[in-house]
């Protein structure tokens, strides 16, 4: 939460893993509802988000990390809110945008060089540490983009 607020400049944030009532937390942080949501958590978080979407809100679904290693995936129970609020949910997969990658780099690299795009990398060294780093992604061990350095540049 402090990283989001202090480094990335968000007005506020909360840790969904520590909130006892996700619906109440979303109502507290988004009293007028959510216009756009980038879905990368799934499960109970998505269920609460759907309840708190604004009319004609949009959800870009890119992942659902909370569901990847479950024996029984959690169901989403508030789907009727999608109908009532006319919410659009669409899958987002990076491979759909590969043809535009060089154009994206031309756009984003100057911002990164100027420090206008902030990011965090969680770096481990050595190929032997790769499997543990990968497993750590699914338990939330890393902070930021997980990188495994195999050899110095």
Q: Give yes or no for residue 153 having a pLDDT over 80.
A: no
Q: Tell me which residue of 79, 33, 22 sits closest to 56, measured CA to CA.
A: 33
Angstrom distance (rounded) from CA 58 to CA 100: 23
Q: Is the pLDDT of residue 139 over 90?
A: no
Q: How confident is the model at residue 138 (pLDDT cuts 50, 70, 90)?
A: confident
Is CATH 3.40.50.720 what the domain over 1-95 is classified as, yes or no? yes
Output the pLDDT for position 31: 96
Q: Determine what percent of the chain is predicted with pLDDT higher than 70.
A: 100
pTM passes above 0.85: no
Cα dihedral 113/114/117/121 (nearest 10) = 40
Q: What is the pLDDT of residue 75?
A: 86
Residue 110's contacts (CB-CB under 8 Å, 6 or more residues apart) are: none
pLDDT band at residue 68 under the 50/70/90 scheme:
confident
The tokens describing 127, both together, are 């190929």
pLDDT for res 70: 87
Main-chain dihedrals φ then ψ at residue 48, nearest 5 degrees:
-70, -40
**Residue 129 token pair:** 């540490």
Residue-level pLDDT at 95: 94
pLDDT tens digits, one per residue of 26-67? 999 999 999 999 999 999 999 999 999 999 999 999 999 888
pLDDT tops 90 at residue 80: yes
Q: What is the mean pLDDT of the chain?
A: 93
Which residue ranges make up each domain of the chain? Answer: 1-95, 120-152
């Amino acid at each position: 939460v402090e990283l989001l607020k202090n480094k990335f400049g968000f007005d506020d944030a909360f840790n969904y893993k520590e909130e006892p009532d996700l619906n109440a937390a979303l109502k507290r942080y988004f009293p007028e509802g959510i216009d756009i949501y980038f879905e990368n958590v799934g499960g109970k978080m998505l269920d609460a988000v759907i309840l708190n979407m604004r009319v004609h809100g949009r959800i870009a679904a890119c992942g659902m990390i909370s569901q990847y290693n479950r024996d029984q995936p959690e169901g989403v129970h508030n789907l009727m809110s999608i109908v009532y609020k006319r919410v659009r949910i669409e899958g987002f997969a990076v491979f759909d945008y590969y043809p535009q990658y060089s154009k994206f780099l031309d756009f984003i690299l100057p911002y990164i060089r100027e420090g206008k795009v902030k990011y965090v990398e969680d770096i481990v060294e050595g190929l032997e540490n790769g499997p543990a780093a990968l497993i750590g992604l699914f338990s939330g061990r890393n902070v930021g983009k997980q990188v495994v350095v195999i050899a110095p540049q």
